[in-house]
Amino acid sequence: MRIVTTIADVRTAVRDAKSAGRAVSFVPTMGALHGGHASLLHRARKEGSFVVASIFVNPLQFNDPNDLAAYPRTAEADEALCKSAGVDLVWRPTAETIYPADFDTRVEPGKLAAGLEGLHRPGHFGGMATVVLKLLNVVTPDVAFFGLKDFQQFAIVRRMVRDLDVPVKIVGCPTVREEDGLAMSSRNAKLSPESRMLAAHLSRVIHAAARAMRSGERADRARDLAFSDLSSQSAIEIEYLEVVDRDSLLPVVDEPTANAVVLVAAVVGGIRLIDNVEVVPRDKDSS
């Protein structure tokens, strides 16, 4: 496994791999890697013969400077995880490499970015889409992998790639969970033991809502029940709990719920967590 920082080194390594006939798969990350990232890397290993991972904490997608400063940075452990997952090339750019002093361009996602996370984290998706487009333009992978835990992010990236004709296949991979159901996240390490127990309730509540809809419950009723269950926990501050269509991300009320996804964002013991579950899970990874 090679670790590089410059755009020129990435381009050379990818060009050599492609001229040797290798398919390039790519996993963009912000580091603090966990089991969820490992599953993306393993999937990338299966699908491509040259695996690239990027590790870059993207300042442009943090609307809160404290959140950026507090973001966990675990360089050595990240490199070890990449190595054991069979990554060929780790790209660890500096902020100046990605955003030189005169950098002046932003990607502005449309309607898909308007609600949910978009309402609570202004500017987040513009910053995320800008860096993802830049990373894709440098790495030029055949296929790139994103976790479905960041459901709205996946929908926005997929649409951006389609709208802007970026020649890459985008694959969404299922959320990886701890034994008690808590979705794996870099933020989980910051939970106190009490908050960690409570955090698993997010997953229980949205899975119960999805089960209810699968058995014929209306989306608005399932959502309201889930909301009142979660609100009964005073240590959980709900930011949103919504049932939306998985493609348009528009609210589902009493329409058929086969295409619906339940999404939640909440602050548990000072740590902001997100999770989601599709009412009818897709058979395989979505692309």
Q: Does 131 bind ligand PAF (CB under 6 A)?
A: yes
Interaction residues for ligand PAF, span 17-46 (CB under 6 A): 28-30
Helix (H, G, I), strand (E, B) or coil at 68: helix
Query: Is 29 or 286 the residue whose CB approaches ligand PAF more closely?
Result: 29
Is 141 an interacting residue with respect to ligand PAF (CB under 6 A)? no
Single out the residue of 150, 242, 275, 278 in contact with ligand PAF (rule: CB under 6 A): 150
Q: Using an 8 Å Cβ cutoff, are 141 and 168 in contact?
A: yes
Binding of ligand PAF at residue 176 (CB under 6 A)?
A: no
* Residue pair 188/33 in contact by the 8 Å Cβ criterion: no
In the bound state with ligand PAF, the residue whose beta carbon lies nearer, of 125 and 223, is 125
Nearest distance, CB of residue 252 and ligand PAF, angstroms: 25
As measured in angstroms, the least distance from the Cβ of 5 to ligand PAF is 17
| Cα–Cα distance for residue pair 252/262, rounded to 1 Å | 10
Find the binder of ligand PAF among 25, 39, 58, 185 (CB under 6 A): 58
CA distance 261 to 248: 11
275 to 16, 90, 116, 147, 150: CA distances (angstroms): 39, 28, 12, 11, 8
Closest distance between ligand PAF and the C-beta of residue 197, in Å?
Answer: 26
CA–CA separation, 188 and 13 (whole Å): 34
Catalytic residue among 37, 124, 201, 207: 37
Nearer Cβ to ligand PAF, position 58 or 203?
58
Q: Is 37 assigned a catalytic role?
A: yes
H-only helix segments in the chain: 7-19, 35-47, 65-70, 75-84, 95-98, 117-120, 124-139, 151-163, 193-214, 219-231
Active site residues: 37
Q: What are the residues binding ligand PAF (CB under 6 A)?
A: 28-30, 58, 61, 128, 131-132, 150, 153
